[in-house]
Amino acid sequence: MADSDTVCVDFQTDPSRYKHWKLSFDGPVATLAMDVREDGGLRPGYELKLNSYDLGVDVELYDAVQRLRFEHPEVGAVVITSGKERVFCAGANIRMLSQSPHAFKVNFCKFTNETRNAIEDATVGSRQVYLTAVNGPCAGGGYELALATDWIIMADDGNTAVSLPEVPLLAVLPGTGGLTRLVDKRHVRRDRADFFCTTEEGVRGKRAAEWGLVDEVVPRSRLAEVVRARARELAARTDRPATAPGFRLLPLERTIADDAVRYRHVACELDRTRGIAWITVTAPAASPPNGAPGVHAQGSTFWPLALARELDDLVLHLRTNEAEVGVWVFKTAGRADLVEAYDRLLADHRDDWLVREIRLYWKRTLKRLDVTSRSMFALVEPGSCFVGTLLELALAADRSYMLDGTRRGERLPLATVRLTEANFGAYPMPNGLTRIANRHLAEPARVEKLRARLGEDLDARAAAEAGLVTFTPDDIDWDDEVRQALEARAAFSPDALTGMEASLRFGGPETLETKIFGRLSAWQNWVFQRPNAAGPKGALVVYGTGQRSEFDRRRV
């Protein structure tokens, strides 16, 4: 399970259990007010003062963002603000960071940024626009949260400022998307950004607006009025159905045992001795419902949505609580024709608001796999159903093995893979490419040739020729080849694999997301461990003690 220094984190929650966020509604506008409970940290040993946050605060935020998308189709704009009178957010809690193991810190930063990506995806994909009302000092991760929204309005009161003070205060850096969003998203001039990121007090008032750090500054007395007007303007632009009923995201059916995690459609067996997680995803048991009304009627039990939620939860659980399980092996089981039928339903009704949300959820879940620092293999065997959406699991893997032929004495169907419309644009990677296009950067014309084979069952030889799998051993070699590959992978340095996989997964164009996660992997893995930050006299350790940090002044 998790490191002895950490708790086992549960990523399931709901508004009735929130400690740190208050969700309210005014017609098409929702407000998420951050009101962090000081004694509500995940672990003892620190207080969440000044609206600072830990992973537990972000778990609630992620849940709220998901529920706003699915449970509130009438909401076209979401205001993020502080529920406290004179502070917006002081950022990630420093005491929490200084006492957390390195792996926990890095996964915390990764999850935090994925949640902010989900906010940006809601604005663009769901037409549910986020804006921020900064009603007090907004520092570090607090400002990074504001940067994830589409519009920032700040009180002009002489006290409220935005800042990214990590470099001068902590000897780390705003690596959870802050630096990248500053210059790539808001296009702040480099010289101004340089000053901004090296001053503790930040920037306030008209200068903040002039430099592009915020969009508007207004007198505190008018902040609520202006925010309400802007939110109404943004909400009016949405195509979300104002009168459609939403539905509850019901709690997942999940069982966690010593060596297994099981859901309705996903099972994970843990081999901690070898550091391997065996993950089996099962196809639906019945045909899809009739059209979009049938999807709405099934709600949380609709197979693609239920499966996305289960897989999302499992990825977060393994990533945070099973740090030593470094190799994930994906398998599938069930009827390929049923998987294809569900893909067809999602494609045919993509303009329905709920179907759109389900496809967007799958996109985000697969992206979470893309940026996860684990080695991922896929095994395509007789009885598998790597079709369309489930084929994306194999395409996301670092390597895939497909059995050529059948096993002696086995009566399962021959191993095949099948392409559907879902493989050609529904689930882009962080670099903006489909996983098929990402595989064929040297032969872009092959993508269109593969599109001509939609719905065709490709056996091992055909799948290899199409570039969809890596190796195709026969029954004689299968067991030994797979075993040796997994043992070899588990024997390598996890640090080397983390860097290698992050570098290999995203060929082609670079985007805001690939920059953020590439830098996150490199910067946070390195800077968080350096003595200047984390040593006995490092800035992260002595912060708030009155002692001066001591730096090794050598540049590397």
Closest C-alpha among 110, 104, 92, 86 to residue 164: 92
The pLDDT assigned to 525 comes to 67
Q: Which helix (H) or strand (E) holds 64?
A: helix 55-71
Domains of the chain and any CATH numbers: 15-235 (3.90.226.10), 255-493 (3.90.226.10)
Angle formed at CA 273 by CA 268 and CA 274, multiple of 5 degrees: 75
Angle formed at CA 323 by CA 318 and CA 329, multiple of 5 degrees: 55
Tell me if residue 383 falls in helix, strand or coil. coil
Regions of the chain where pLDDT drops below 50: 2-4
* Residue 454 backbone phi and psi in degrees, to 5: -55, 135
Instruction: Tell me the torsion sign for CA atoms 337, 380, 444, 508.
Output: positive
The number of beta carbons lying within 10 Å of the beta carbon of residue 55 is 26
- DSSP label at 285? S
Tokens 């399962």 locate to 412
Report how far residue 308's alpha carbon sits from residue 313's, in angstroms, rounded to the nearest whole number.
9
Angle formed at CA 307 by CA 296 and CA 364, multiple of 5 degrees: 90
The pLDDT assigned to 217 comes to 98
Closest C-alpha among 52, 44, 58 to residue 7: 44
CA distance to 72, 165, 184, 351, 517, per residue, from 128 (Å): 10, 30, 22, 15, 24
For residues 455-475, b (16+ Cβ closer than 10 Å) or e, as one string? eebbbbebbbebebbbbbbee
- DSSP label at 284? -
Report how far residue 146's alpha carbon sits from residue 216's, in angstroms, rounded to the nearest whole number.
13
Within 383-511, strands assigned E span 386-387, 399-402, 417-418, 457-458
Report how far residue 437's alpha carbon sits from residue 444's, in angstroms, rounded to the nearest whole number.
7
Cβ neighbours for 555, distance < 8 A, ≥ 6 positions apart: none
| 105-126 pLDDT tens trace | 888 999 999 999 999 999 999 9
The pLDDT assigned to 504 comes to 92
The pLDDT assigned to 409 comes to 84
Closest C-alpha among 294, 313, 293, 295 to residue 251: 313
Report how far residue 82's alpha carbon sits from residue 90's, in angstroms, rounded to the nearest whole number.
11
The residues facing 380 across adjacent strands are: 402
User: Residue type at 45?
Assistant: G
Tell me if residue 329 falls in helix, strand or coil. strand
Report how far residue 97's alpha carbon sits from residue 431's, in angstroms, rounded to the nearest whole number.
30
How far the first Cα of the chain sits from its last, in Å, is 36
- DSSP label at 23? E
Closest C-alpha among 483, 475, 471, 336 to residue 406: 475
| 213-260 pLDDT tens trace | 999 999 999 999 999 999 999 999 999 999 999 889 999 999 999 999
The number of beta carbons lying within 10 Å of the beta carbon of residue 210 is 12
Q: Are 247 and 300 in contact (CB under 8 A)?
A: yes
Within 334-422, strands assigned E span 375-380, 386-387, 399-402, 417-418
Query: How many alpha carbons fall within 13 Å on the CB side of residue 333?
Result: 9
At 386, list the tokens: 């790597």
Tokens 């009025």 locate to 225
Closest C-alpha among 334, 333, 331, 332 to residue 278: 331
Closest C-alpha among 522, 530, 527, 515 to residue 177: 515
Cβ neighbours for 189, distance < 8 A, ≥ 6 positions apart: 211, 212
Q: Are 279 and 331 in contact (CB under 8 A)?
A: yes
The pLDDT assigned to 4 comes to 39
Report how far residue 268's alpha carbon sits from residue 5's, in angstroms, rounded to the nearest whole number.
24
Report how far residue 483's alpha carbon sits from residue 452's, in angstroms, rounded to the nearest whole number.
35
